[in-house]
Amino acid sequence: MSGDSRASRAGLYSMRHDHIISAKQLSRADIEEVLDRAAEVAADPEAAADRHENTLLGLLFFEPSTRTKMSFTAAIKRLGGDVVDMGTVESSSVKKGESLADTVRVVEGYADALVLRHPSEGSAKMATEFVDVPLINGGDGAGQHPTQTLLDLYSIRESAGFDDLTIGIMGDLKYGRTVHSLAHALTNFDARQHFISPESLQLPRSVRYDLHEAGASIREHTELEPVLPELDVLYVTRIQRERFPDDSEYREVAGQYQIDSETLEAARDDLTVLHPLPRVDEIAHDLDDTEYAHYFQQAHNGVPVRMALLDLLLEGER
């Protein structure tokens, strides 16, 4: 993803990337550079306060978002910049039938970098073919969500570390873009990945292919119970109602992948429970105040991690 126009950028690793499209493009060095920068930012936010004064981040969210959109907004504002926001699809020219290609071409003239969320897989990659400013994939359908992965990894590094990591990833593994990105990124580390899901929502062929190619250590399960005592981290995702033909089947399946404090009696005391949020009922509220619960801190980590990523991407633009 390197581009000659940005070849003179400062920085060692992330600066090779014009765009952040997929976790697959991130090496261990890339990831650690972002996480290290995020740790610096989190320790001393004031030091980064005016680093990107007058920088505008274009927000193109074709799907609803709370955390990704708000934390990108907070991140660029805390770096001294601001956002230009397309708003909802209903209030934009998309409603008049404008293509995504045209939309990003227009909006790149208003902003120094873009964040795109779109319901079609591959939308972010396609959009990069029409823009010169850095473009960040904020989630493309059931594809990838690389910046969520960076904050997931930051949270894992804070709570459990990457050495000899055993992680369980549970829920909708087929359509869960945060799962796909995280699984790819973890192949850079010494991690054993256990995937726990109903058979109908197992990892897609393409992700399994990549994990196999990367030589990753993976196991697939339909139940949490046998593997729970081994886990350092349990990453829970939401099983969506619309993936099932009828409501009763959904409730039966989803019910098997919910955790509460009773479920976790078999877990290690230092288990870290993460969730990209929003949750419905896959994590009971009785876990929220326990030592296991790291998911709200995980969501908060979105700001320093996205500040770090923007800082690195925009460094050569100044």
Partner 1 sequence: MSDRELRVSKIRNGTVVDHIAAGQALNVLAILGIDADSGETVSVGMRVPSDRLGSKDIVKVEGRELSQDEVDVLSLIAPAATINIVREFDVVEKHRVERPSEVEGVLSCPNRHCITTSDEPVASRFDVLDDGIRCQYCDTIVRDDIAEQIDVP
Q: Which residues are catalytic?
A: 67-68, 96, 117, 145
The least CB distance from residue 180 to partner 1, in Å, is 8
Does 126 contact partner 1 by CB under 8 A?
A: yes
**Cα-Cα-Cα-Cα dihedral of 274, 283, 74, 311, to 10°?**
20
Return the range that interacts with partner 1 (CB under 8 A); candidates 43-51, 190-198, 206-214, 302-310.
206-214
Does 121 contact partner 1 by CB under 8 A?
A: yes
The least CB distance from residue 71 to partner 1, in Å, is 25
Candidates 11, 28, 44, 288; CA nearest to 157 is 28
Is the Cβ of residue 207 or residue 274 nearer to partner 1 in the bound state?
Answer: 207
Return the range that interacts with partner 1 (CB under 8 A); candidates 55-63, 75-83, 108-116, 205-213.
205-213
DSSP letters, 7-34, are: TT-SSSSGGG-S-B--GGG--HHHHHHH
Does 176 contact partner 1 by CB under 8 A?
A: no
CA distances from 38 to 24, 31, 144, 258, 286 (A): 20, 11, 21, 32, 30
Does 118 contact partner 1 by CB under 8 A?
A: yes
User: Of residues 8, 96, 205, 246, which one binds partner 1 by CB under 8 A?
Assistant: 205
Is the Cβ of residue 55 or residue 123 nearer to partner 1 in the bound state?
Answer: 123
Does 123 contact partner 1 by CB under 8 A?
A: yes
Does 120 contact partner 1 by CB under 8 A?
A: yes
The least CB distance from residue 121 to partner 1, in Å, is 4
User: Of residues 56, 74, 101, 106, which one binds partner 1 by CB under 8 A?
Assistant: 101
Contact 221, 196 (CB under 8 A): yes
Strand partners for 233: 167, 272
| HEC readout, 172-237 | CCCCCHHHHHHHHHHCCCCEEEEEECCHHHCCCHHHHHHHHHCCCEEEEECCCCCCHHHCCEEEEC
The least CB distance from residue 281 to partner 1, in Å, is 27
Count of residues that bind partner 1 according to CB under 8 A: 20
Sheet arrangement for strand 233-236: 217-221, 191-196, 165-170, 233-236, 272-274
Q: 131 to 160, contacts with partner 1 by CB under 8 A?
A: 140-143
Please give the single-letter amino acid code of residue 296. Answer: F
Distance CA 253, CA 200 (A): 10
The least CB distance from residue 130 to partner 1, in Å, is 8
**Residues forming the site for partner 1 (CB under 8 A):** 99-101, 118-123, 125-126, 129, 140-143, 205-207, 209
